[in-house]
Structure 1
Amino acid sequence: MTTALAETHADLAPGSVVVIRDEEWLVTSTEDTADGLLVHVQGLGELVRDSTASFYASLDRIEPLDPAAARVVADSSPHYRTARLWLESTYRKTPVPLGDSNLTVSTRALADALTYQQTAVRKALDPANLRPRILLADAVGLGKTLEIGMILSELVRRGRGERILIVTPRHVLEQMQHEMWSRFALPFVRLDSAGIQRVRQRMPATRSPFSFYKRVIISIDTLKSERYIAHLKKQRWDAVVIDESHNLANVATLNNQLARLLSRNAEALILASATPHNGRKESFAELLRLLDPSAVPPDGVASPEEVERLVIRRHRHSPEVAGAVGADWAERQEPVNRLVQASEPENAIARELDETWLHPVGGVSPHSGQNSSLFPWTLAKAFLSSPAALRDTVVERIKRLGAGPAADTERKALKRLLDLASAAVPHKPAKYHALLDELRRIGVKKGASERAVVFAERIATLRWLQEHLPKDLGLPREAVEIMHGGLADDEQQRIVEAFKQEQAPIRVLVTGDVASEGVNLHAQCHELIHFDIPWSLIRIEQRNGRIDRYGQKTPPRITALLLEPTSERFAGDIRVLASLVTKENEAHTALGDVASLMGKYDVDGEEEQIKAVLAGAKALDDVVRTVDEVAASDDLTGLFYRLFDAPAVTSPDQVTPREPDGRAGSGLYPDEISYLDEALRAAFIDPTAPPGNNGVAWRRNPKFGTAQMVPPKDLTQRLAVLPQSYLADRRVTDEFVLATTSLRGKDRLEAARRDETSSSWPDAHFLSPLHPVLDWASDKALAHLNRNEVFAVRGDVDSPTVLLLGTLTNRRGQVVSTSWLTAEFPALEDPDFTLVSPYASAHEALQALGWGTTRANPGAVGDLDRLQRLIPVAVRHARAQMREVFAAAGADVARRVEQWVRRLDAWDTEADALLQRRELRQRRVSVQQEREIVTAMNPDRQLVRPLLVVVPQVETHA
Structure 2
Amino acid sequence: MSTAQEVFQPGSLVRARGREWVVLPENREQVLRLRPLGGSEEDATTIFLPLEPTPPVPATFQLPDATKAGSQTAALLLRDSLRLKLRAGAGPFRSFGNIGVEPRAYQLVPLLMALRLETVRLLIADDVGVGKTIEAGLIVRELLDRGEVERMTVICPPHLCEQWQEELAAKFNIQAEVVRTGTAGRLERGLMAGQSIFEEYPFTIVSLDYIKADRRRDEFLRACPELVIVEEAHSSVRSGGNTRHQRYQLLKGLADDPNRHMLFLTATPHSGDEEAFYNLLGLLRPDFKQLQGVNPADRKELREDLARYFVQRRRPDIREWQDSTVFPDRESAETTYALTGDWKQLFDDVLHYAREMVKQTEGLSLLKQRMSWWAALALLRCISSSPAAAAMALRTRLESTEEESEESQIALLEKQASETVLDGDSEETLNQDESVPAGTVEDTAALKNLIKRVDKLKGPKNDPKLEELISQLKDLVSNGFQPVVFCRYIATAHYVAEHLQSALKRAGVEVMAVTGELTPEEREEKVHGLSEFAKRLLVATDCLSEGINLQNLFNAVVHYDLTWNPTRHEQREGRVDRFGQPSPKVRVLMYYGENNPVDGAVLQVILRKAERIRKELGVTVPMPSDSNKVMDAIMQTVLLKEGSLVHGQRQFSLVFDDLDNEVDMAWESAKEKAKQSQTIFAQRRLKPEDVLPEWEKAIQVLGGESDVERFVTRTAERLRAPLEPTKNHFRFPLQHMAPQLRERLAGVGLEGAIRITFTHPAPSGVEYVHRAHPLVATLAEHVAERALEEEEPELAARCGAIFTREVKTRTTVFLLRLRSQLMIERREGNRFVPHRTLLSEECLGVAVEGSSEPRVLPEKDALAWKKLESARNMEPAQKAQMIEAAKATVEKLQLPFSQIARKRADQLLADHRRVREASDAKGVRYDVKACLPVDVIGIYVLAPAVTF
The two structures share one fold, judged by TM-score above 0.5 = yes
Change (3 A) 1:328 1:74: same
- Paired residue for 1:742? 758
SS of structure 1 residue aligned to 2:572: helix
- Paired residue for 2:35? 42
2:644 is the alignment partner of 1:611? no
Which range moves more in the overlay, 435-444 or 335-344? 335-344
User: How is 1:183-194 mapped onto 2 (pairs within 5 angstroms)?
Assistant: none
**Alignment: residue pair count:** 820
Change (3 A) 1:84 1:270: farther
Which range moves more in the overlay, 352-361 or 672-681? 672-681
User: How is 1:338-353 mapped onto 2 (pairs within 5 angstroms)?
Assistant: 340=339, 343-353=344-354
Q: What letter matches 1:938 in structure 2? A: Y
Rounded Cα–Cα distance in structure 1 between residues aligned with 2:286 and 2:12: 37
Which range moves more in the overlay, 862-871 or 343-352? 862-871
SS of structure 2 residue aligned to 1:774: helix
Displacement of 1:946 after TM fit?
0.8
Change (3 A) 1:337 1:563: closer
Rounded Cα–Cα distance in structure 2 between residues aligned with 1:418 and 1:535: 27
User: How is 1:448-463 mapped onto 2 (pairs within 5 angstroms)?
Assistant: 453-463=484-494
2:44 is the alignment partner of 1:52? yes
2:734 is the alignment partner of 1:709? yes
- Paired residue for 1:442? 472
SS of structure 1 residue aligned to 2:451: helix
SS of structure 1 residue aligned to 2:128: coil
Displacement of 1:524 after TM fit?
8.2
- Paired residue for 1:772? 774
Of 644, 659, 672, the residue aligned with 1:629 is: 672
Change (3 A) 1:523 1:36: same
Any conservation in 2 of the 1:532–1:560 contact (CA below 8 Å)?
Answer: yes
- Paired residue for 2:587? 556
Change (3 A) 1:346 1:679: closer
Change (3 A) 1:146 1:130: same
- Paired residue for 2:648? none
Change (3 A) 1:583 1:51: same
Displacement of 1:512 after TM fit?
1.2
- Paired residue for 1:699? 721
Rounded Cα–Cα distance in structure 2 between residues aligned with 1:395 and 1:575: 25
Structure 1 runs not aligned, ≥5 long: 112-116, 566-570, 601-605, 651-655, 682-686, 689-697, 754-760, 902-930
Rounded Cα–Cα distance in structure 2 between residues aligned with 1:552 and 1:313: 25
2:669 is the alignment partner of 1:620? no
2:939 is the alignment partner of 1:946? no
User: How is 1:289-308 mapped onto 2 (pairs within 5 angstroms)?
Assistant: 303-305=302-304, 307-308=306-307
Any conservation in 1 of the 2:90–2:841 contact (CA below 8 Å)?
Answer: yes
Displacement of 1:629 after TM fit?
1.8
Any conservation in 1 of the 2:556–2:576 contact (CA below 8 Å)?
Answer: yes
In the TM superposition, what whole-angstrom CA distance separates every residue of 1:775-814 from its partner, at most 9, and x where no partner exists? 2344445556599xx9787797869897563636242545
Change (3 A) 1:50 1:104: closer
User: How is 1:234-313 mapped onto 2 (pairs within 5 angstroms)?
Assistant: 244=232, 246-247=234-235, 272-279=265-272, 303-305=302-304, 307-313=306-312
- Paired residue for 1:114? none
Change (3 A) 1:475 1:846: closer
Change (3 A) 1:486 1:719: farther
- Paired residue for 1:911? none
Displacement of 1:74 after TM fit?
3.9
- Paired residue for 1:580? 606
Any conservation in 1 of the 2:122–2:263 contact (CA below 8 Å)?
Answer: yes
Change (3 A) 1:543 1:836: same
Displacement of 1:484 after TM fit?
0.8
Displacement of 1:513 after TM fit?
0.8
Of 109, 124, 140, the residue aligned with 2:111 is: 124
Q: What letter matches 2:672 in structure 1? A: E
Q: What letter matches 2:880 in structure 1? A: G
Percentage of matched positions with identical amino acids: 18
Displacement of 1:947 after TM fit?
2.5
SS of structure 1 residue aligned to 2:368: coil
Rounded Cα–Cα distance in structure 1 between residues aligned with 2:303 and 2:208: 30
Any conservation in 2 of the 1:335–1:585 contact (CA below 8 Å)?
Answer: no
- Paired residue for 2:420? none
Rounded Cα–Cα distance in structure 1 between residues aligned with 2:866 and 2:567: 58
User: How is 1:312-331 mapped onto 2 (pairs within 5 angstroms)?
Assistant: 312-318=311-317, 320=319, 329-331=328-330
- Paired residue for 1:422? 451
Rounded Cα–Cα distance in structure 1 between residues aligned with 2:122 and 2:405: 57
Give the TM-score normalised by the residue count of structure 1: 0.64
SS of structure 1 residue aligned to 2:67: coil
Rounded Cα–Cα distance in structure 2 between residues aligned with 1:267 and 1:870: 52
- Paired residue for 1:91? 83
In the TM superposition, what whole-angstrom CA distance separates every residue of 1:884-935 from its partner, at most 9, and x where no partner exists? 657755774786434xx2xxxxxxxxxxxxxxxxxxxxxxxxxxxxx4xxx3
Q: What letter matches 1:353 in structure 2? A: A
In the TM superposition, what whole-angstrom CA distance separates every residue of 1:523-576 from its partner, at most 9, and x where no partner exists? 7877654443322121122224345556565573433325867xxxxx599725
Displacement of 1:357 after TM fit?
2.8
Any conservation in 2 of the 1:313–1:644 contact (CA below 8 Å)?
Answer: no
In the TM superposition, what whole-angstrom CA distance separates every residue of 1:358-383 from its partner, at most 9, and x where no partner exists? 78422646639x88876764555445
2:64 is the alignment partner of 1:76? no
Change (3 A) 1:545 1:590: farther
Rounded Cα–Cα distance in structure 2 between residues aligned with 1:252 and 1:532: 33
Rounded Cα–Cα distance in structure 2 between residues aligned with 1:669 and 1:444: 38
Of 564, 567, 572, the residue aligned with 1:543 is: 572
Change (3 A) 1:771 1:444: closer
Displacement of 1:392 after TM fit?
3.9
- Paired residue for 2:512? 481
Q: What letter matches 1:314 in structure 2? A: R
Rounded Cα–Cα distance in structure 1 between residues aligned with 2:278 and 2:24: 37
User: How is 1:551-950 mapped onto 2 (pairs within 5 angstroms)?
Assistant: 553=584, 556-562=587-593, 575-596=601-622, 598-599=624-625, 610-614=630-634, 619-625=662-668, 629-633=672-676, 636=677, 639=680, 642-643=682-683, 663=699, 671-672=707-708, 675=711, 698-701=720-723, 705-710=730-735, 727=749, 732-733=750-751, 735=752, 737=754, 739=756, 742=758, 750=763, 753=764, 761-762=765-766, 765-780=767-782, 783=785, 803=816, 805=818, 807=820, 809-811=822-824, 812-813=836-837, 839=859, 844=860, 846=862, 858-859=879-880, 861-862=883-884, 869-870=891-892, 873=895, 877=899, 892=914, 896-898=918-920, 901=921, 931=922, 935-939=923-927, 941-948=929-936
SS of structure 2 residue aligned to 1:367: helix
Q: What letter matches 1:545 in structure 2? A: G
Rounded Cα–Cα distance in structure 2 between residues aligned with 1:309 and 1:548: 29
Rounded Cα–Cα distance in structure 1 between residues aligned with 2:716 and 2:583: 40
Which range moves more in the overlay, 528-537 or 207-216? 207-216
SS of structure 2 residue aligned to 1:517: coil
Any conservation in 2 of the 1:134–1:269 contact (CA below 8 Å)?
Answer: yes
SS of structure 1 residue aligned to 2:518: coil
Change (3 A) 1:55 1:474: closer
Any conservation in 1 of the 2:33–2:44 contact (CA below 8 Å)?
Answer: yes
Displacement of 1:485 after TM fit?
0.9
Give the TM-score normalised by the residue count of structure 2: 0.64
Rounded Cα–Cα distance in structure 2 between residues aligned with 1:125 and 1:670: 25
2:503 is the alignment partner of 1:512? no
Of 496, 503, 509, the residue aligned with 2:534 is: 503
Q: What letter matches 1:772 in structure 2? A: P
Change (3 A) 1:75 1:305: farther
User: How is 1:524-539 mapped onto 2 (pairs within 5 angstroms)?
Assistant: 528-539=557-568
In the TM superposition, what whole-angstrom CA distance separates every residue of 1:125-145 from its partner, at most 9, and x where no partner exists? 465358998655332344657
Rounded Cα–Cα distance in structure 2 between residues aligned with 1:50 and 1:649: 37
